[in-house]
Amino acid sequence: MKFASFIDDLAIQIRGFQKRALGRAFAFYLLFSLAALALLHFVEMSVGIDKRTHIDSATYAELSEQQCADIQSRGLLSLPGNAMYCVVDLVGEHGAILLNALMVAGSTALLLQAIFSRQLPLLGLITVLLIAFAPYRYHLGIHLLKDSYIQFFATLALFWRGGALWSLPMILFSPRGLVYIVFSFRAKYLLATAFLALLSLYLFFPGYWSTLMSVLTKGNTLQFVFQEYDQVPTFREFNMLGDWIRALVWPLFLLSGFFIFISPAPLFFPIALIGFTTLLGLWTLRRKVNWELIGLIYLGLAVFALIAPGFTGYTRYAYPFVTVVLIAALIGLKPLQLSEIFGRTSVR
């Protein structure tokens, strides 16, 4: 009896040590990520990239008070897709950027814990770490953009207890969150989740619903917006057929990094780097890769290609979806189970 009691006490102590070690590791990952964000912020300021480089950043800074007041007057049903305005109005421009940095650092810490908890070959480990610390991913975290929140909640959904329940807040920041949710579930739930997403789009995002219906019935008639360096073909000369060609080709461009040879711009290179590391990861970790999740990523990217107003905008739409879910696929995580939306977890 004494020996059995000793073994039980030892097991309790070991579990307590493991939890403390995990806690210390998470704190280290978090602080390391914050230090990397601070360094990148210093570098960007040194080369003239200010906090309002992105048009969306300037929009949130200038219109947050007015837009948040409008949301309050219209009611909470108008909050989905517009939460970033209220975040900026509540904590101010600098406070919102700090929260963005915390979102990126928190998601990176969770990703690192998941990565280091698996037995990966050295080259595979380097690959997923390159994706986790991708410069463009960190760049989004030090500007007034909602992408960091989407990445954070997507990370919680795939790597934390509660599963899909954590994916729901993404909808508050962008209707794109509906696409992330649908294509993070097992393929057998695709029709069910797609139906729920379309219903949510119809109820809460009538403007986006109209745009989607127009794209599907008349083609993408939006005015395409291009940066000077964006030379990636849109295939618009083929009308609706061009939309479907774009949906087929652009995901391949993004996932492979091949677009950099068509549009060899320095500002595109950090994004193309993700594609190069993706190919390396798919080859190195091919025995661990969850190919079902890779297929779902491709479908999600195809949807974004249909509605994106240019390849530069496409990278912004797709990036939060690609980085987090791609790491999950490379280290062998399974897509979400539909039952996880009620808080139950499965072994992945």
pLDDT in tens, 242-300: 888 999 999 999 988 898 998 888 878 888 888 888 888 888 888 888 888 888 889 88
Which one is predicted more confidently, 2 or 97? 97
Residue 348 lies in a domain: no
Task: Tell whether the model's pLDDT for residue 1 goes beyond 60.
Answer: no
Give the confidence band of 12 by pLDDT, cuts at 50, 70, 90.
Answer: very low
Residue 45 predicted with pLDDT over 90: no
Residue 303 within any structural domain of the chain:
yes
Q: Residue 250 has what pLDDT?
A: 93
pLDDT at 56: 80
| Partners of 185 in the β-ladder | 336
What is the average pLDDT score of the chain?
Answer: 80
pLDDT digits (tens, 9 = 90+) for 80-91: 888 899 999 999
347 occurs within a structural domain: no
Question: So what's the pLDDT on residue 224?
Answer: 57
pLDDT at 181 exceeding the cut of 70? yes
Q: What's the pLDDT at 346?
A: 42
Q: In this structure, which amino acid lies at residue 65?
A: E
pLDDT in tens, 274-284: 888 888 888 88
Task: Report pLDDT for 234.
Answer: 83
Q: Which burial class, exposed, middle or buried, applies to 126 when counting CB atoms under 10 A from its CB (0-12, 13-18, 19+)?
A: middle
Q: Name the domain count of the chain.
A: 1
So what's the pLDDT on residue 95? 92
Tokens of 170: 């993404």
* Separation between Cα atoms, residue 271 and residue 268, nearest integer Å: 5
Tell me what the mean pLDDT of segment 61-69 comes to: 87
Question: What is the mean pLDDT of the segment spanning 295-313?
Answer: 86
| Domain range for 221 | 2-342
pLDDT (mean) for 101-105: 92
Whether the CB-CB separation of 137 and 319 falls below 8 Å is answered with yes
The answer to whether 154 and 184 have CB atoms below 8 angstroms apart is yes
DSSP 187-241: GGGHHHHHHHHHHHHHHH-HHHHHHHHHHHHH---S-----TT------GGGTHH
Tell me which DSSP letter residue 337 carries. P
Q: pLDDT (tens digit, 9 = 90+) per residue, 204-251?
A: 787 778 877 776 776 665 555 556 667 788 888 887 888 889 999 999
Please state the φ and ψ torsions of residue 120, each to the nearest 5 degrees: -115, 145
335 touches 290 (CB < 8 A): yes
Structural domain contains residue 231:
yes
Using CA atoms, how far apart are residues 246 and 251, in angstroms rounded to an integer? 8
Residue of 296 and 6 predicted with greater confidence: 296
By residue count, the chain amounts to 348
